[in-house]
Structure 1
Amino acid sequence: MSPFKNDPRIVAALQESIKLGEYGIAVSAYHKGELIVDCFDGLANTETKKPVDSNTLFPVFSVTKGVTALAIHVQADRGLLEYNAPIAKYWPEFGKNGKEATTVEQALSHRAGIPQMPDGVTPELMHDWAWMIKHIADFTPIFPPGTANAYHILVWGWILGEVVVRTDPTRRPFDVFVKEEILEPLRIKDFHLGVPSEKLSNVATLYGGNSFDMVDDYNISPTAVFPGSTVHNIPIVQQTVDPGAGAITTAPAVARIFALIANEGELDGVRLLSKDRVAGLSRLREGAHDPDKILTVPVWFGAAGYWLGGEEGKSDPIVGDHRDIIYSPGAGGSLAFADLRDSVAVAICHNNMDTVAIYPERTYTPIMKAIREIVAEREKATKL
């Protein structure tokens, strides 16, 4: 057990989650900019019985998108990009084959019409940023840009990641940009877009998650690079810079990034976004009520690159019940969210991808109940 911020209710909740089917699990939470929960339990590897500890790194899949979206918003806040500008303004090679007018916001909100991965992609080719970017630039849209909600499961990260690179005055690689502009200012060391070789032994072994309920008529998520345990236990995948589904990290690292958002763009004296920019992160996308062409589950998504809370029957109920919540769920149930109204940020990482379909309600419910009790007590104490 973590010796830090391990309220007995959280400890018990993690134990309950393991009884419900989790193998290894970690949770971290912030309230009004203060770390209030940091706890873990279970096994990082069920065969060797290696326990989860403070150094355990978890693949978090599309939770990564929340950090990549933050990078886009950092660039917008600096005046280096405009949401409604064509991607081709910043990445000229992208502007062909019907993508000439596709905007940054359309890509952010999964309405760019190019949810497919390149034909013939393999883990080795996915590892090659230049190969991915060249093939994406050559794409012809499956859906006319700006007309359809079509969740860009994997390719999303390279589209937006390259926009960040092209709008960076020094053209740093995407992982370097995130490290220098987000992680280092926030004093975060354990968020990796490509795990260093010396830390590969810290990565939790994933289990399950090798089937996904979606339509894949268009090479959206091909078997060779499918976001499940089979592919993401491979070292070359763990060392790939994949801005849409490839972060490998700890719960405290992810929670701290989302805490910055939940705290109006500033944390511990470090401001990365203006208050007005943060307030706009829960804005609805165009066609918000249209069904998704790729995912068969309800998709309640915003214009800014985040899923949104507060929509009954569509939002994940585990994150809360009001509109001022943005969140990033990952394949197999990894989760991070920022409650903009109540200034709460939570990250939950785990390694059994078969405990959920999409929403981690069953195994995470005890954890969220305990966190909300702690937050309510803190709120009450401040009013006394």
Structure 2
Amino acid sequence: MNRRANADVQGRIENILADLVESGAESGLQVAAYLDGEPIVDAYAGWADRGAGRLLGPDTPIHSFSTGKGFTATVVHVLADRGLVDYDTPIAHYWPEFAAQGKERATVRHALTHTLGIPQLPPDVTPAELCDWDTMCAHVAGARPLWEPGSASGYHGWTFGWILGETVRRITGLTPAEALRTYVSEPLGVGDELYFGLPASELARAATLVEGNWAAWLATLPPDAPFRRLVVPNREVWTTAELANRRTYLLSDLPACGTTTARAAARMYAALLGEVDGVRLLSPERVTLAAGVAVEGKDRMLLGRYTKGLGYFLGLPETAGGTAAFGHHGSGGSIAFADRERGLSFGLTRTRLVAGPAAGAARVLADEIRSAVS
């Protein structure tokens, strides 16, 4: 794209965001995109905290829930590229306690593909326990798989973070937050925009989330639905604005989730596709492994049919389908992904948590950018 085309798509995205906020459909949005390693969109509109009169900026970190799983997967792949971890090595090789309850052969690949079999949380788990690293690592290490590892896939909504995060910690000696900074965010120059837990010094910069219809949608799930019964077994650990706005939660190292700007997330995915200002996170061969189809079919927790790579979802609706695009959603409508066919990466972060048709802005904005680059 030439400079004129860049300016045109930037302007169109800015106008769409302004209209969404002005209409009341959205409270605050960031959208960013890279094409062949170069930024083509960095747009934002709305409020970081309307009650405090604080406007959203391009550098305002927004908690984006499971969008952060893509960051965790990326850390694991960077370590694999350096020969520090092998996908088919049992997790217990790195973390001996994990062998309990028949998990001695469960591998890093099983964790990345959600086929390990321990998506469940204790039914009465509290937010304080959720934010206690040692408590939750002890839970996943001592949990019995609900199915034979590798035999089925079911979304490990919370447990994904402790399983892979503690594996990273055992290998590197770094907490997940430290590993993300060391291997991903600092090399890319986004050390102050791409996080798991926020440093206390950065807390005041973060956006305040507001509920749209996301919490109400969670409440419509039948109590016996696997996702509600096992993955988020009580209302206190639902992925809502109420939870995400807690100071202790935002400060916690929770690598199932992430707090980021759209431009930092898009930059990370761009650096998976190729060089960004001289930095490439993974070799092309590693990207082919990480973003290739690893499992597909019915997900035991989400109940729909999904295609997954190693830590990323493939062919999400916002990516216009097809398995050449890989990335991750977050609860309430955030998303970041890379499109290998187009050389395009995209990030959308939001302050209003929404579900269903209300979350359609991400597809509209991604389609607008895809139309411009093609």
TM-score (norm 2): 0.90
Question: Does 2:312 correspond to 1:306?
Answer: yes
Q: CA offsets per residue over residues 294-352 of structure 1, 9 Å max, x none?
A: 113432222x111111xxxxx31x21243211010010110001011211000000011
1:363 corresponds to which residue? 361
1:331–1:358 Cα contact (<8 Å) kept: no
RMSD: 2.0
Which protein has the bigger helix share? Answer: 2
Counting matched residue pairs gives: 357
> How far apart, in 2, do the equivalents of 1:31 and 1:371 lie?
10
> How far apart, in 2, do the equivalents of 1:282 and 1:173 lie?
25
For 2:112, give the aligned amino acid: L
For 2:89, give the aligned amino acid: A
Aligned with 2:202 (options 195, 199, 204): 199
> How far apart, in 1, do the equivalents of 2:358 and 2:327 lie?
12
Give, in angstroms, the shift of residue 119 of structure 1: 5.1
Q: CA offsets per residue over residues 214-261 of structure 1, 9 Å max, x none?
A: 52465321322221111111110111110012x111111111111111
**Are residues 105 and 15 of structure 1, via their aligned partners in 2, closer, same or farther at CA, if it must alter by over 3 Å?**
same
Give, in angstroms, the shift of residue 120 of structure 1: 4.1
Q: Secondary structure at the match of 2:83?
A: coil
Give, in angstroms, the shift of residue 118 of structure 1: 3.9
2:186 corresponds to which residue? 184
Aligned with 1:274 (options 249, 259, 283): 283
> How far apart, in 2, do the equivalents of 1:215 and 1:326 lie?
25
The worse-fitting range, judged by mean Cα deviation, of 13-22 and 236-245 is 13-22
1:283 corresponds to which residue? 292
1:22–1:363 Cα contact (<8 Å) kept: no
Matches for 1:306-345 after TM superposition, within 5 Å: 306-309=312-315, 315-316=316-317, 318-345=318-345
> How far apart, in 2, do the equivalents of 1:218 and 1:63 lie?
22
**Are residues 68 and 358 of structure 1, via their aligned partners in 2, closer, same or farther at CA, if it must alter by over 3 Å?**
farther
> How far apart, in 2, do the equivalents of 1:267 and 1:324 lie?
20
Q: CA offsets per residue over residues 114-140 of structure 1, 9 Å max, x none?
A: 001245432222222122112211111
For 1:9, give the aligned amino acid: R
The worse-fitting range, judged by mean Cα deviation, of 29-38 and 204-213 is 204-213
Question: Does 2:234 correspond to 1:234?
Answer: no
Give, in angstroms, the shift of residue 186 of structure 1: 0.8
2:82 corresponds to which residue? 78
Give, in angstroms, the shift of residue 359 of structure 1: 9.0
Please list every run of 5 or more consecutive structure 2 residues that lacks an aligned counterpart in the other structure. 1-5
2:162 corresponds to which residue? 158
For 2:45, give the aligned amino acid: D
1:282–1:308 Cα contact (<8 Å) kept: yes
For 1:368, give the aligned amino acid: A
For 2:207, give the aligned amino acid: A
> How far apart, in 1, do the equivalents of 2:24 and 2:324 lie?
30
> How far apart, in 1, do the equivalents of 2:142 and 2:210 lie?
35
> How far apart, in 2, do the equivalents of 1:120 and 1:139 lie?
15
List 4+ stretches of structure 1 deviating above 6 A. Answer: none
> How far apart, in 1, do the equivalents of 2:230 and 2:321 lie?
35
1:349 corresponds to which residue? 349
Please list every run of 5 or more consecutive structure 1 residues that lacks an aligned counterpart in the other structure. 310-314, 377-384
